[in-house]
Amino acid sequence: MKNFIYVTFLSIVAFSCNPNQDAMKTFEENTKTMDILFESFANESVDYSKFADDVVFKGTLVGAKDSLSLDEIKAIHKELFAKYDFKYMAPMKYLTGVNAETGVTDGSVRMYYDQEVTLTATDSNEAKSVIVSIYESFDFNDEGKVTYVQWYCDWTGSLAYLEE
């Protein structure tokens, strides 16, 4: 049984490491969308037109709903931008994503990155910052719009630290 699992694993890895050219072209186009989204987020003016109307967001906030809609994300962004500043610590390095069921490259985009989040100084507090390490993935539809976003990081602990 162990040999079968080992051989199967190697087959999937080898297959997914040789993506087809159409998937790679789609990935390259989707990374351009990602550049726009990350730049617009850092400038606190997110280009929400890059998301499909029925996009689903799934994150790791303690006590948050299982998934969020675009309207809910817009409201969250508005609150965040009023209180915090965001800065990416290095240029983005995008990774090709794969279809979870087939293991085949599909044009989706994944990345690991660090983001500095700073609590804006006010009359009652000084500015305070924390570095948040994030893994994020984005799936796209045929029109190049984001349909699914998921992230893994400790937003809850990081924001709580800033509020101490």
Give the pLDDT score at 3.
Answer: 39
Domain ranges of the chain: 2-163
pLDDT digits 0-9 by tens, 55-83: 999 988 777 788 999 999 999 999 999 99
Quote the CA–CA distance of 69 and 40 in Å, as a whole number: 19
Q: Which fold has domain 2-163?
A: Nuclear Transport Factor 2; Chain: A, (3.10.450)
pLDDT at 142: 94
Beta bridge mates, 146? 51, 140
DSSP per residue over the chain, as a string?
Answer: -HHHHHHHHHHHHHHHTS--HHHHHHHHHHHHHHHHHHHHHHTT---GGGEEEEEEEE---TT--S-B-HHHHHHHHHHHHHHEEEEESS----EEEE-TTT--EEEEEEEEEEEEEEEPP-SS---EEEEEEEEEEEEE-TTS-EEEEEEES-HHHHHHHHH-
Split the chain (164 residues) into runs of 10 and give each run's mean pLDDT: 40 49 92 95 96 94 86 95 93 90 91 94 84 96 96 92 89
Q: What is the pLDDT of residue 86?
A: 94
Predicted confidence at residue 29, as pLDDT, reads 95
